[in-house]
Amino acid sequence: MTETAQTAVGHQSTPAGRGVRLPRTARRAQLLAAAQDVFVTNGYHAAAMDEIAERAGVSKPVLYQHFPGKLELYMALLESHVDELVARVRGAIESSSDNKLRVHAAVAAFYDFVDGEGQAFRMVFESDLRGEPAVAQAVERATTDSVDAITDTITADAGLDEDRARLLATGLVGLSQVTARAWLADERKVPKDEAVTLISNLAWRGIGGGFPLQH
């Protein structure tokens, strides 16, 4: 989430009042921040544009000037969160040439995303609108693009064909996502750094122990 959007979230109890003119990009960020709160709290179906406008401190016409409808607003948020997750995973894979460190960084990327401000992960992994094709496609992209980023490295370094490398990458993504959400649901009882180390060691013993990865 952008700094402007975070500022909007931080001041949601006293939002910019009606009649306060903001630059278009700042207003859009403010509306997205308000919508994020409402969608995460209520889910898509129970969220109302009236409530989002009120949370942002604007009139409904102002909200509709930026987003034609609730689905378009939801999709703008969802796509930005998917982009953020994929960027985190790609950054993790590119952060080192040491494959053990890459695995650790990839696991950490999912934990950091799940632990991020605004609970963006709920829209990506727990959306109540997966029956909508555009939403389903965006949610699927969060997984496939993450898998793609990891597959390329495993293919290059493990001496495996793409199909087998992709299966391993899918396992790492699934392990990271599921355990990160379980860790959060369990109220972070294990410190995050320790949780990431536990899971990355588990993944590395499988990937690093079974294939001739270069270090």
* Domain identity same for 29 and 126: no
Distances (CA, A) of 10 to 32, 34, 56, 148: 13, 10, 11, 35
* Domain identity same for 104 and 192: yes
* Domain identity same for 62 and 28: yes
Alpha carbon of residue 71 to chain centroid: 18
Which DSSP letter does residue 118 get?
G
Say if 84 falls within a structural domain: yes
Say if 185 falls within a structural domain: yes
**Number of residues assigned to the chain:** 215
Say if 9 falls within a structural domain: no
For the chain, give the mean pLDDT: 88
Say if 15 falls within a structural domain: no
pLDDT, averaged per 10 consecutive residues of the chain (215 residues), comes to 41 48 90 96 96 96 96 97 97 93 96 94 94 96 96 82 92 97 97 97 76 49
Q: Residue 29 is part of a domain; what is its CATH number?
A: 1.10.10.60
**158 neighbors 213 (Cβ within 8 angstroms):** yes
Alpha carbon of residue 196 to chain centroid: 17
Q: How many domains does the chain have?
A: 2
Residue where a domain terminates, one of 46, 68, 90:
68
State residue 16's pLDDT score: 47
The Cα–Cα gap between 151 and 153 comes to 5
* Domain identity same for 55 and 159: no
The range of the structural domain enclosing residue 59 comes to 23-68
Say if 43 falls within a structural domain: yes
Alpha carbon of residue 170 to chain centroid: 17
State residue 208's pLDDT score: 60
* Domain identity same for 62 and 89: no
* Domain identity same for 109 and 93: yes
Say if 57 falls within a structural domain: yes
69 CB contacts (<8 Å, ≥6 apart)? 49
State residue 10's pLDDT score: 40
State residue 167's pLDDT score: 93
* Domain identity same for 157 and 55: no
Say if 116 falls within a structural domain: yes
**158 neighbors 211 (Cβ within 8 angstroms):** yes
* Domain identity same for 91 and 168: yes
* Domain identity same for 172 and 90: yes
Say if 210 falls within a structural domain: no
* Domain identity same for 167 and 64: no
Q: Residue 91 is part of a domain; what is its CATH number?
A: 1.10.357.10
* Domain identity same for 64 and 169: no
* Domain identity same for 82 and 144: yes
